[in-house]
Structure 1
């Protein structure tokens, strides 16, 4: 197989959650540039710009309006998508974060973060993995975090979910790899997105974080595209249960 073919997604369909902005939008457009058609799952109104960008690349794009904070609804919609579409790649990118001292986390925030970041991710993957396994091929890529490895500060529910995403990635890989489905994850470092706006707005935290990153800068959403295309395409056919860190060297420091 040629190097070009190893990284081609031509003829495939990828479903991406949370693609309205940031990492999700960059990855969705990157997959389209590599040849994939896209299904975007999330609030439809917020995905119009991403859908237009994908269409401009000459790829088909479908938007599915769904509330990822409602796991039962996610499971139902995912079952319909699995029945009606041939989904070759799933990118579980959607995630939310709340910031509170551990003693002040309330039950509502705890439940909402777990529903979006973990429970919906699992049931979406479960439904779409079944036809992949039946066909003997497919890719599931979860978006983990540096907080899959560290504890963080004032982000307890988020940290819990990202540790769980790393574990879920490995557990699913163990069962699905023998059936031709690769399950892996990307762990972004400090990326300039809406989720990190509060950190970037704090001069002391922003400076301290930047000084620790060997690359000397925060990442941009585009820094995740190469990893996503690799894990979504034939080049990663023998990669299973891996969490690929893209962090400018943060964890190496």
Structure 2
């Protein structure tokens, strides 16, 4: 019953967020026109878009792992890069509806995060590649933020909050929410969970990349790669 209840909460939360983001996109298009205009590309919007797409890359990595074939993986990754958190929410809700818990003690988030059926046993090469890629992405994003602060000043200015910047920020933070669900599931106590979520909110994909790299360094070469997704008290599947 508890598992079914939590599944319902997650379904409702991601469905509402997806609809909210879709409505925001439609409203912003109607009131402010197309987003494909050069005058919209202020330095901080460019930095925000890079931040956004680094997080999308992290989510896409999970989707590629989760999907059973390359065609569906490619399809969802394209949707994620084109439609952002709308696609994220749609994918999560779809996968939540596919979950069938086998008992009240089974954590539905384990079933959400892991590939169903044949769990991947791929090990060291994927861990090493992941460490390298997300270290580079995190360092790149940190450099982008520092450069933008130096050349364009701090981002906390009212003139930067254009309609499309506001829509982009909402899109960005819905994806941050999705990543935060994994972080909350992964962490062993509420203090570390709160710290990491605050860092995600404040530093975006820099924190995402840092967190992923830390988790990858905690996985030994003998462990299956899916151990990265599990919480610290549930390493046995």
TM over 0.5: no
User: In terms of Rg, which structure is larger?
Assistant: 2
Give the TM-score of the pair, scaled to structure 1.
0.29
Greater RCO (Cα-Cα under 8 Å, separation 6 or more)? 2
Larger strand fraction of residues: 1
Higher helix proportion (structure 1 or 2): 2
Give the TM-score taking structure 2 as reference length. Answer: 0.30
